[in-house]
Amino acid sequence: MATKTPNLPRQQPKKNDHDTAAQRQNGPHPETAPATGADYFEIVSRATNDAVRDWNVKTGALLWPRGLTSLLGHARGAASQKIGFWFEHIHPEDLPRIQDSLRLAFKENAETWKGEYRFRRSDGGYSNILERGLILRDNRSQAVRLVGTLMDVTTRRQLQAQARRSQRMEAFGQLAGGVAHDFNNFLTTILGYSDLLLHEKEVKGEIADQIKEIRDAAGRASSLTHQLLAFSRRQALEPTVLEVNSLISNLERTLLRLLSDNISVVCHLHHLKKGAYIKVDAGQFGQIILNLAVNARDAMRKGGRLTIETSALEVGPAPSRLPNGIDLPIGEYVTISLQDNGCGMSEAVKARLFEPFFTTKDDGHSGLGLATSYGIIRQSGGYICAESEPGKGSTFRIYLPRVAAPPPLPYKKPGHKKHLRGTETILVLEDEVSVRHISVRVLRNLGYEVLEAAHGEDAKRIITKRNGTPKIDLLLTDMVMPEISGRQFVDWLGQTSPETKVIFISGYLEESMHPGDRRDPGMCFLAKPFSADELASTVRELLDGTLEG
């Protein structure tokens, strides 16, 4: 059945056209003549690098004038000449939506149709396709033909997904930082009052043990807030000496939540009596282990087993190369390995594994995870490598220098040292009521004269009213407060009472003092949450001029 072609108005030549009357009569020169018909169609298609499909809606015949092989990777054949070929290669999750969209366009006499879907290439992977089509109809307005151009928008979709993910991570980072800041205020109160109770002579035996359990739980919660602050980049990350088995054990529950139900976790941890200690940033290293576990999960789509192993390794003076090709310098090392029984990797993939922005995933991953892990481990003096074969799983091994165990830090009741006491005048400026009250109580119990203010204007009135007599020896102030921040207040105080020493406290480190700001011996920083003993020691050492760092 012949299709109805709309009558288009013919454009008349303008008086200022550059073509001559002879050209209008004889036609344009062959070298400058615009392409027409199939030639023009081919030139436009090549210019856009799109694929073109021509679907006869009545018969189901499908033609691919361009792009079936170059864009989608499929060879021409009888199968590709039927509309079922197109439907079969659309991602199953996208197919119902595309079919509904086509039915609606045909039903509502639409002239054009647009759809975005994932189309399976010949290699089994999917490309994100944006198709724009023209619907041709017969004289009864029935759709008889759809001619569409298919544009590969995979890269654009990946960039969009990456941008959205970055925005979500930034938003979550801000939320995590805010939550951690508030929790640090609560934990400061819990730690402070626990210390005060433990200092009471009447508190002993079972009651004292129960209070210690509360304090220990607050300490563990404090480590969690440190991780949140590290994630949100609001805390300086510093290496500490850790026992590797304890580090893995603490991560085990998080690993189980990250992995699928059909993936089991098996741990083979060392049995060394003296332990195996490494010096790393706990937050950074924990994130490395979690990232490797997630990669293993993605390689075991149908389930499997993740094996985590820790051991010690001694490298002597004799030349020896490890099976993975790494030449370790002489010394003792702690080895952490994560092994999966997933799909494995080819040699080509392994060769680029730790390159920035290299990824084998097609869902918009940045490809920075392993590159970042490599940099962190190298900065810690260690090495990371991968062993893998297609179909035989992968093993990532981390080698870190083994260090001596840190000296034990037994718990000491706060305030038991006489030199922590004093009689100086201290102003506590803190908008969080619970933190202000515990700070005031601890310092008053140590003999100090303590003034308190909830915000900067209150503190200014107190200082102005005293008129410098007696002087305020020390200011304990939060960094982040409404109206007037701790920094701004200290700037004002420097003009009014320059001899007053300052302790900044904060649950953030982004708002805390930078290293260059700490050169003044009359200022220091105390991170929340802090214990009563930490507060007492910092105050006394700053007043005595013996504070280090």
Q: Where are the domains of the chain?
A: 36-152, 239-408, 418-544
Contact at 8 Å (CB) between 236 and 401? no
Distance (Å) of CA 341 to CA 85, 291, 358, 391, 395: 35, 17, 22, 8, 9
The confidence score (pLDDT) of residue 525 equals 84
pTM reported for the whole predicted model: 0.43
Question: Given CA atoms 344, 350, 356, 362 in this order, what sign does their dihedral have?
Answer: negative
Which tokens go with 63? 């033609």
Show Cβ contacts of residue 201 under 8 Å, excluding neighbours closer than 6 positions.
none
Contact at 8 Å (CB) between 547 and 529? no
Nearest 5 degrees, angle CA 256-CA 529-CA 240?
Answer: 60
Q: How many CB atoms lie within 10 A of CB 327?
A: 10
Exposed/middle/buried for 278, CB within 10 Å: 0-12, 13-18, 19+?
buried
Q: Is the link from the previous residue into 470 a cis peptide, with omega within 30 of 0?
A: yes
**Phi and psi at residue 292, to the nearest 5°:** -65, -35
The confidence score (pLDDT) of residue 425 equals 92
The confidence score (pLDDT) of residue 229 equals 58
CA atoms within 13 A on the CB side of 497: 26
Q: Which CATH architecture has domain 418-544?
A: 3-Layer(aba) Sandwich (3.40)
Show Cβ contacts of residue 378 under 8 Å, excluding neighbours closer than 6 positions.
none
SS (H, E, C) 192-208: HHHHHHHHCCCCCHHHH
Show Cβ contacts of residue 53 under 8 Å, excluding neighbours closer than 6 positions.
62, 63, 64, 65, 86, 147, 148, 150
The confidence score (pLDDT) of residue 362 equals 55
**CATH number for the segment(s) 36-152:** 3.30.450.20
Expressed in angstroms, the distance from the first to the final Cα of the chain is 89
What is the residue type of 265?
V
Contact at 8 Å (CB) between 434 and 189? yes
Secondary structure of residue 30 in the 3-state scheme = coil
E strand segments, 229-366: 240-243, 263-268, 277-280, 304-315, 331-340
Find the DSSP H helices in 73-153.
83-89, 95-107
Can you tell me which residue has the tokens 């996208």? 94
| Per-residue tens of pLDDT for the chain, all 549 residues | 444 444 444 444 444 444 444 444 444 444 444 545 556 656 766 677 789 999 999 999 999 988 899 889 899 888 899 999 999 999 999 999 999 999 999 999 999 999 999 999 988 889 999 999 999 999 999 999 999 999 999 888 877 766 665 566 566 656 666 676 677 788 888 888 888 888 787 877 888 888 888 888 887 777 666 655 554 445 444 688 999 998 888 888 778 777 877 888 889 999 998 889 999 888 788 888 888 888 888 889 888 999 999 999 988 886 555 655 567 888 899 999 999 998 888 877 777 777 655 566 655 454 456 766 777 787 788 888 888 888 888 999 999 999 998 887 665 555 445 568 899 999 999 988 888 998 999 999 999 999 999 888 888 988 888 876 778 899 999 887 877 888 888 888 888 888 899 999 887 654 444 444 444 667 888 888 888 888 999 999 899 887 754
Bridge partners, 315 (sequence order): 331
Which tokens go with 187? 């934990």
CA distance 197 to 192: 9
E strand segments, 408-459: 425-429, 449-453
Q: Do the bridges between strand 394-401 and strand 331-340 make them parallel or antiparallel, or are there none, so unpaired?
A: antiparallel
Can you tell me which residue has the tokens 């799109």? 50
Cα torsion at 214, 217, 219, 223 (round to 10°)?
Answer: -160
Closest Cα partner for 65 from 154, 152, 144, 150? 150
Can you tell me which residue has the tokens 């407060």? 481
The confidence score (pLDDT) of residue 339 equals 93
CA distance 32 to 35: 9
Can you tell me which residue has the tokens 């010096």? 279
Axis-axis angle for helices 433-445, 532-544 (nearest 10): 60
The confidence score (pLDDT) of residue 32 equals 46
Q: Do the bridges between strand 449-453 and strand 425-429 make them parallel or antiparallel, or are there none, so unpaired?
A: parallel
**CATH number for the segment(s) 239-408:** 3.30.565.10
Residue 238: enclosing H or E segment and its boundaries? none
Residue 447 φ/ψ region, left for φ over 0, alpha for ψ in the -120 to 50 degree band, beta for the rest: left
CA distance 200 to 445: 11
Contact at 8 Å (CB) between 423 and 474? no
Closest Cα partner for 284 from 335, 318, 247? 247
Closest Cα partner for 200 from 535, 448, 445, 439? 445
